[in-house]
Amino acid sequence: MHGRLTMLFQYETENLVLKILDEKYSRDVLEFYIEGDSYFGAMEPDRIDGFYTKDYHKRLLEYEEKSYIAGRSARYYIYEKGNPWRIIGTAAIRNIVRGSFMSATIGYKLLPEYTGKGYATQAVKRLTDEAITDEELHRIVAYVQPDNTASIRVLEKCGFEYEGIARDYAMLKGRWHDHAIYARIGK
């Protein structure tokens, strides 16, 4: 299948609701990133100028919608069931490649007070299951900092296996960092 993804706009797990959002949620997305900034900062590239504005996140959500329609990616914002007003994380299937590869990458993050509850495992498992089943993807890859043992546990619980190290994979805080490569293969 090419073009629009068959993955749904919303999924649920035991404790979570995962939703694709449109631009009317730009304030909520901005608040999520402001709240998580000090926690996410060590694991993500420096933010560009204007990142912490509602307008930036409005444009980002518009871009994410176009990427979904084009079949390139699907970013889900994570809510706790029973609390539909607060974004607690994100998970995304990105870099979807069809044809001979049938692959994608996955990334995810949660606000710190929601870690250690099994939420990341629920979100990653649900999205990778859907990507393999609905999108017929064969390979989902995750890149994780080698010392991020909590994230590595999430991946292993979701059926990902260690494949090696991507040397100097990402520039974070002014220097290059290696990342461990984990992959889940569809059966």
Written as six digits, the tokens of 143 are 């890149």
Give residues with Cβ within 8 angstroms of 24, minimum separation 6: none
Q: Cβ atoms within 10 A of the Cβ of 98, count?
A: 15
Burial class from Cβ neighbours inside 10 Å (0-12, 13-18, 19+) for residue 104 reads buried
| Calpha distance 153→123 (Å, rounded) | 14
- What is the helix (H) or strand (E) element at residue 38, kind and residue range? helix 26-40
Architecture of domain 10-185: 3-Layer(aba) Sandwich (3.40)
Q: Which two tokens stand for residue 22?
A: 């449109």
Tens digits of residue pLDDT in 38-53: 888 777 777 878 888 9
What pTM does this model have? 0.93
Please give the single-letter amino acid code of residue 123: A
Per-residue CA distances from 81 to 39, 75, 185 (Å): 23, 18, 29
Q: Which residues contact 49 (CB under 8 A, 6 or more apart)?
A: none
pLDDT, tens digit, 9 for 90 and up, residues 65-122: 999 988 899 999 999 999 989 999 999 999 999 999 999 999 999 999 999 999 999 9
The residue extents of the domains of the chain are: 10-185
